[in-house]
Structure 1
């Protein structure tokens, strides 16, 4: 099963300019034809596989068209990976960064990890089972705990975030982003926004948080599907409240008895709806046991995760509605935004 596909129409790279740049900056860059393919998953940044002779790498760049302020910051993600890789090897090793002068948008290169990304279907030849679902679930929880236990004080990672007042900034920041991308076919969310302002938890602890932690951002060993070998999409990473990170992970952790609107909001439901995978309660229970952290306030964090996801999806939908992208996957995302607002309110019981 290939994890790449031919480059989507309109999202091609200027291969000649890219190749010239790599020749100038990589002394070991081989001769021959540069092959470019695209990773098909994801709805935000564009990610490509580069291959030439024995050279291979992954290129990440922002989506086409105007982007939200402070979003899709390639230099920041590159800097995070530089600081993180040696301490948390699941994060890919970054290779180089370039501003927009080469491809018209900033980008960076990172190592090409090899393994299996599990998303909505099992790879060909793999049969799901209760035991396998349990093992993958445990690995997802345990690696999140490992990241949250990382000692970042006194390292470069200390500079990537401001833990004081983290949740207050998050609440006000995502309300602002949601309002800025508001269209006339989505809910304003006024009730849940006011509720968050009145119920923002005070963060008592800080850690390095991934903040986009989900099954299809992880890569597993091809011969042992319960061992993670890579973790991707570090764009939102910061130093902040680990409970917020757990909340985001739970927001993406769809279970089989969730409403259809959540299970199918981004297409086919993830494998987490299948036999053996943890429920959200089981995910929380193992996290609490492994980390020793207090998880009694998770309702607030999960409700906020749904609202934050609504903001992310709405930013994508806004670009589609404004004609800044023509990706047909985005055409009906406004319905998912409305479902997420409802779900945030239901979770918070406002």
Structure 2
């Protein structure tokens, strides 16, 4: 089986000071005191993720990108590490083991944390041409079901018995999220996008009643899970930065907003490999989810539209960093077109009253 999640050379402008890291690890994390090599994982548009090779093991370092301090509520490494630690203490198995958190920004330019590397495969759209032979129709069908099952089971965790309820304040979560993401949009706005305001107005006037809160991941998709392809199993769920306690339909809506289908446009297909033959359709994902966690999903359109809106805001935030010269990553140059596309899709879904 091919290694489908290989790290490569560190991008220009995102290098780490290896000697400074070595000295820090020598004083604080002895198992990392000898670094053989540092590489970078290419996936993702948000936090930066590096592979740290030592003589004994491989580890992963997560840090915020340049300019992250200007984004309210984003790129919080301390919180992400704390969530992993809480999940570990709650005996949740499908996570990478957290090792160490560093708040000293002078070491790598921001706060960071270290976790163990889970060996497996991550399905990234950027690697499709290299991995397509591994992704048969039958395998994708089974993997999409496993992904759905794991999300449904995550939402069934007893947050009160595990004390994970302390991660957030679920009362009024939906309204806070709608208003909060609109505020983030305004703070990162670079161009006039009429659909963004229209979608926000619809969301703010159609907030449904909340149901029993659960632990929600908030960025649940293929490229945030480590897979054993041969066994068609999920080894670990990654990227817990936005995890909190709230209405589980918010999490499901975000996942559905990433869930591109074969008829979707190229931009949406960059999000996820769910458009490959064999994957569940969005409506099938909902039906599969309800077999395990039969919550009321009559208002799922609202949560899908919100997911599209939130993704558009995240893209806008990244594009704003590029416009300000805080990153020179060429992938970000035309992300404003993504804001246009997702807000258009959200508006089409509102008008048609179905997930477009």
TM bucket, shorter chain: over 0.9
Q: Distance in 2 between matches of 1:159 and 1:103?
A: 30
Q: CA offsets per residue over residues 28-59 of structure 1, 9 Å max, x none? A: 4464x431010110001000010110132100
Tell me by how many angstroms 1:122 deviates: 7.0
1:112 matched residue in structure 2: 117
1:25 matched residue in structure 2: 28
In terms of mean alpha carbon deviation, does 323-332 or 100-109 score higher?
100-109
- Asked if 1:239 corresponds to 2:241, the answer is no
Q: Structure 1 residues 16 and 273, CA, compared in 2 at 3 Å: closer, same or farther? A: same
CA contact (8 A) 1:182 1:188 kept: no
Which of these residues, 197, 200, 210, is aligned with residue 193 of structure 1?
A: 200
- Asked if 1:147 corresponds to 2:150, the answer is no
Tell me by how many angstroms 1:124 deviates: 4.5
- Asked if 1:323 corresponds to 2:321, the answer is no
Q: Distance in 1 between matches of 2:114 and 2:97?
A: 9
TM-score, normalised to structure 2's length? Answer: 0.92
2:169 matched residue in structure 1: 162
CA contact (8 A) 1:46 1:60 kept: yes
Q: Distance in 1 between matches of 2:134 and 2:45?
A: 28
2:212 matched residue in structure 1: 205
Tell me by how many angstroms 1:184 deviates: 2.2
**Unaligned regions of 5+ residues in structure 2, if any?**
none
- Asked if 1:5 corresponds to 2:8, the answer is yes
- Asked if 1:97 corresponds to 2:97, the answer is no
- Asked if 1:80 corresponds to 2:83, the answer is yes
1:71 matched residue in structure 2: 74
Tell me by how many angstroms 1:131 deviates: 1.6
Identify the structure with the greater helix proportion: 2
Q: Distance in 1 between matches of 2:275 and 2:38?
A: 33
1:253 matched residue in structure 2: 259
SS class of match (1:91): coil
CA contact (8 A) 1:88 1:147 kept: no
Q: CA RMSD in A?
A: 1.8
Q: Distance in 2 between matches of 1:173 and 1:200?
A: 14
Q: Distance in 2 between matches of 1:192 and 1:125?
A: 36
CA contact (8 A) 1:186 1:334 kept: no
CA contact (8 A) 1:219 1:231 kept: yes
